[in-house]
């Protein structure tokens, strides 16, 4: 057979298999798969370099289906590559199957979960950084984009960063099938408009008929030859192409064909096939290294001095960079506030400025961790809200990323509420498998930064803008999941739990209450998730069930709720015998501008308010 005939046969198989799996499942996206089948057939047959026996081989290309709903096509590709069996492919969308409705990295060939649109290209930028600037390996990143998702702003963050960093290892393939979920896209088949936009963002563009196999072949060859710019191939396609009854017709998004239609479609497509492609394997190679692993020498701060935990983050990240060549720094154009700049200046080759594009900031971290790096991404804590969907999806990607948010809470002062993170603890706690850390002093912050490197999942560090007293020695240890009982005696009447800046208010309250003859236990809950249930339960037992939590955060979802979690039960573990009587002090009015102390007082989370809450519990 000619190359063209081989591509055609393979493409028809991919279409047939996309129909078979979705009709078997009675749901899914056959038509969005069929539009891109020719594009994938040529890619698999001639361009993808991938050893399906060794999915983690360092020189493998990366194939990312940003249009995750076209998962049936991806699974058909895996079957055609001999990676999964026809039988497994047909378990699409069944409970317990790896062949989920949208791709997830439960399958070793899937790098990241997709299905929330507009994420594949931003993540590919992270992979592009790794390939071009860190690994220095010739693998290519192939990204399959839907046309509907081109309206996601996140894609344009990826276009601008991809263009700026000249990520010529990225080829984005736009399956321009004209039809979105409920009708025509904004641009329809206006391929020139997509191409003009991409070019304006610094990309090389190629416009083709996405069902013309020779044009596809030429486009891949041209894209692969680029050395200065990433490439967008704008491929004009038809949704449902290959089955005339539904091709290019509205109303067929996300619908499996009923069995009789499926039969007609498969007949029109030439019937089932069982082609196995001998996918080109990549050449052997190993990633470049960036120094030797060395002993970690964390910064040390003198007890009694004052340092902002954000600057301890910067110091510790730089120290971590010296010890570990796999640590990579990212920041959203505020590195002189988050202090990521210490790392950036020390290790410019391992630092990638993400400018003010927080979705891209997180996506780059996700892409980098696919390649085994330990990305630390920082911005103001408030602005991680911009990237919450990326963080949510990163958890589904089983990604290991480290996020550091500075400028938390009203204690930032004059800048006002737009710059104050007051919902970040709630947001980050509600991410599957996440770790949420909130140091109260610089030595603690430094230790926690070191622990973040190998902590799996989404790890979030909340830092404080203001300088706070150093209360711990540099050699103390602060394990994730632990806490610190900072003040205690047998006479303690109330437990007060603070974290970060409010711990210092709790300590002031301790002194005042002590002078009035009231003893309180003060706990530093630096590990918000997991929370130290054992210590909290013991403290509540010891203080007659009386507990005050105090946090620079809205009432909902933060420290107070985390503390209460320590007392509830599950089917297999009973709730605590002694339930706490809790007063939760948290921000409950919209703050304005002012000095940190004024705002802490007005928010009701100052030492004076703690004293008053303690007394209220003792009445």
Catalytic residues: 358
- In this chain, which of 8, 15, 102, 324 binds its own copies, going by CB under 8 A? 102
As measured in angstroms, the least distance from the Cβ of 142 to its own copies is 20
Of the candidate spans 39-47, 301-309, 431-439, 496-504, the one that interacts with its own copies by CB under 8 A turns out to be 431-439
Q: Render the burial of 403-431: b for 16+ CB within 10 Å, e for the rest.
A: bbbbbbbbbbbeeeeebbbbbbbbbbbeb
Q: Which of 243, 238, 251 is nearest to 209 (CA)?
A: 238
Q: Is 582 in the site for its own copies (CB under 8 A)?
A: yes
How many CB atoms within 10 Å of residue 88? 17
User: CA-based angle 235:113:169, to the nearest 5?
Assistant: 50
- In this chain, which of 3, 54, 85, 106 binds its own copies, going by CB under 8 A? 106
**Nearer of residues 106 and 276 to its own copies, judged by Cβ:** 106
Query: Segment 352-381, which members bind its own copies (CB under 8 A)?
Result: 355-360
Q: Is 404 in the site for its own copies (CB under 8 A)?
A: no
Q: Is 323 in the site for its own copies (CB under 8 A)?
A: no
- Residue 421 is classified by DSSP as B
Tokens representing 486 are 């900072």
- In this chain, which of 1, 2, 53, 95 binds its own copies, going by CB under 8 A? 95
Q: Is 498 in the site for its own copies (CB under 8 A)?
A: no
- Residue 530 is classified by DSSP as S
Dist CA 438 CA 449 (whole Å): 11
Q: Is 329 in the site for its own copies (CB under 8 A)?
A: no
C-beta separation of 338 from 312 below 8 A = no
C-beta separation of 307 from 329 below 8 A = no
Q: Is 180 in the site for its own copies (CB under 8 A)?
A: yes
Instruction: Report how far Cα 163 is from the mean position of its chain's Cα atoms.
Output: 22
Query: Segment 19-78, which members bind its own copies (CB under 8 A)?
Result: 25, 27-28, 68
Q: Is 90 in the site for its own copies (CB under 8 A)?
A: no
At residue 435, the 3 state secondary structure works out as: strand
Q: DSSP string spanning 118-146?
A: T-HHHHHHHHHHIIIIII-----EEEEEE
Rg of the chain over all Cα atoms, to the nearest angstrom: 27
- In this chain, which of 212, 224, 488, 612 binds its own copies, going by CB under 8 A? 612
As measured in angstroms, the least distance from the Cβ of 13 to its own copies is 23
**Nearer of residues 92 and 316 to its own copies, judged by Cβ:** 92
Q: Is 310 in the site for its own copies (CB under 8 A)?
A: no
Q: Is 616 in the site for its own copies (CB under 8 A)?
A: yes
Q: Is 560 in the site for its own copies (CB under 8 A)?
A: yes
Residues in the chain: 619
- Residue 321 is classified by DSSP as H
* Phi, psi (rounded to 5 degrees) for 337: -105, -40
Of the candidate spans 137-145, 215-223, 327-335, 478-486, the one that interacts with its own copies by CB under 8 A turns out to be 327-335
Q: Is 556 in the site for its own copies (CB under 8 A)?
A: yes
- In this chain, which of 39, 125, 179, 585 binds its own copies, going by CB under 8 A? 585
**Nearer of residues 66 and 217 to its own copies, judged by Cβ:** 66
Q: Is 545 in the site for its own copies (CB under 8 A)?
A: yes
Tokens 């493998």 — which residue? Answer: 60
Helices (H), 335-476: 335-338, 341-346, 358-370, 388-396, 424-429, 442-452
- Measured between alpha carbons, how far is residue 102 from residues 19, 94, 254, 431, 531 in Å? 16, 12, 12, 19, 33
As measured in angstroms, the least distance from the Cβ of 285 to its own copies is 31
Q: Is 406 in the site for its own copies (CB under 8 A)?
A: no
- In this chain, which of 81, 275, 533, 564 binds its own copies, going by CB under 8 A? 564
Dist CA 462 CA 219 (whole Å): 46
Q: Is 595 in the site for its own copies (CB under 8 A)?
A: yes
* Phi, psi (rounded to 5 degrees) for 428: -80, -35
Query: Segment 133-162, which members bind its own copies (CB under 8 A)?
Result: 148-149, 151-157, 160
Tokens representing 314 are 């910067």
- In this chain, which of 115, 128, 162, 500 binds its own copies, going by CB under 8 A? 115
As measured in angstroms, the least distance from the Cβ of 117 to its own copies is 6
Q: Is 382 in the site for its own copies (CB under 8 A)?
A: yes
Q: Is 230 in the site for its own copies (CB under 8 A)?
A: no
As measured in angstroms, the least distance from the Cβ of 604 to its own copies is 7
- In this chain, which of 9, 268, 389, 451 binds its own copies, going by CB under 8 A? 389
Q: Is 164 in the site for its own copies (CB under 8 A)?
A: yes
- Residue 201 is classified by DSSP as T
**Cβ-Cβ contacts under 8 Å for 447 (sequence gap 6 or more):** 298, 316, 476, 477, 478
Q: Is 512 in the site for its own copies (CB under 8 A)?
A: no
As measured in angstroms, the least distance from the Cβ of 381 to its own copies is 11
At residue 376, the 3 state secondary structure works out as: strand
As measured in angstroms, the least distance from the Cβ of 198 to its own copies is 9
């Amino acid at each position: 057979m000619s190359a063209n005939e081989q591509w055609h046969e393979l493409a028809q198989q991919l279409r047939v298999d996309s129909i078979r799996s979705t009709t078997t499942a009675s749901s899914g996206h056959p038509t969005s798969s069929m539009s891109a089948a020719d594009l994938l057939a040529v890619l698999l047959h001639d361009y993808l370099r991938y050893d399906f026996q060794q999915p983690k081989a360092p020189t493998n290309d990366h194939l990312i289906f940003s249009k995750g709903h076209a998962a049936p096509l991806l699974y058909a590709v895996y079957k055609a590559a001999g990676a999964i069996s026809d039988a497994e492919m047909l378990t699409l969308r069944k409970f317990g199957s790896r062949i989920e409705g949208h791709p997830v990295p439960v399958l070793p060939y899937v790098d990241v979960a997709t299905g929330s649109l507009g994420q594949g290209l931003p993540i590919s930028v992270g992979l592009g950084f790794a390939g071009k600037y860190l690994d220095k390996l010739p693998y290519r990143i192939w990204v399959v984009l839907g046309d509907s998702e081109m309206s996601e702003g996140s894609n344009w963050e990826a276009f601008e960063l991809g263009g700026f960093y000249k990520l010529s290892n990225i080829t984005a393939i736009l399956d321009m099938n004209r039809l979105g979920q409920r009708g025509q896209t904004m641009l329809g088949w206006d391929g020139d408009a997509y191409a003009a936009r991409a070019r304006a963002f610094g990309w090389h563009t190629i416009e083709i008929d996405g069902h013309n196999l020779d044009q596809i072949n030429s486009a891949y060859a041209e894209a692969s030859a680029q050395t200065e710019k990433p490439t967008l191939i704008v491929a004009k396609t038809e949704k449902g192409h290959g089955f005339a009854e539904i091709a290019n017709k509205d109303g067929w998004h996300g619908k499996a064909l009923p069995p009789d239609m499926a039969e007609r479609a498969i007949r029109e497509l030439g019937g089932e096939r069982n082609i196995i492609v001998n996918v080109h394997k990549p050449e052997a190679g190993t990633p470049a290294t960036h120094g030797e692993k060395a002993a970690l020498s964390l910064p040390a701060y003198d007890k009694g001095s004052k340092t902002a935990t954000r600057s301890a983050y910067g110091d510790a990240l730089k120290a971590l960079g010296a010890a570990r060549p796999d640590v990579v720094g990212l920041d959203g154009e505020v590195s002189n506030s988050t202090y990521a700049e210490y790392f950036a200046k020390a290790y410019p080759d391992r630092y990638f400025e993400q400018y003010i594009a927080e979705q891209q900031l997180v996506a780059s971290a996700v892409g980098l961790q696919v390649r085994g790096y330990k990305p630390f991404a920082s911005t103001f804590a408030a602005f991680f809200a911009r990237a919450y969907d990326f963080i949510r999806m990163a958890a589904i990607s089983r990604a290991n990323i480290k996020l550091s948010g500075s400028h938390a809470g009203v204690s930032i002062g004059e800048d006002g509420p737009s710059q104050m993170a007051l919902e970040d603890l709630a947001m980050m706690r509600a991410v599957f498998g996440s770790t949420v850390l909130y140091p109260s002093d610089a030595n603690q912050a430094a230790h926690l930064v070191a622990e973040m490197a190998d902590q799996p999942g989404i790890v979030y560090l909340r830092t404080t803008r203001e300088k706070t007293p150093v209360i711990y020695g540099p050699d103390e240890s602060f394990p994730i999941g632990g806490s610190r009982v900072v003040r205690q005696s047998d006479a303690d009447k109330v437990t007060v739990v603070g974290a970060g800046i409010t711990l210092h208010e709790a300590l002031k309250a301790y002194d005042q209450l002590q002078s009035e003859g009231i003893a309180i236990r003060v706990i530093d809950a630096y590990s918000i998730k997991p929370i130290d249930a054992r210590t909290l339960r013991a403290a509540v037992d010891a203080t007659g069930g009386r507990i005050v939590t105090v946090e620079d955060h809205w009432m909902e979802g933060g420290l107070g709720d985390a503390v209460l979690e320590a007392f509830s039960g599950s089917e297999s573990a009973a709730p605590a015998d002694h339930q706490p009587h809790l007063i939760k002090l948290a921000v409950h009015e919209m703050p304005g501008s002012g000095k940190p102390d004024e705002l802490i007082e007005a928010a009701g989370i100052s030492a004076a308010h703690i004293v008053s809450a303690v007394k209220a519990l003792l009445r």
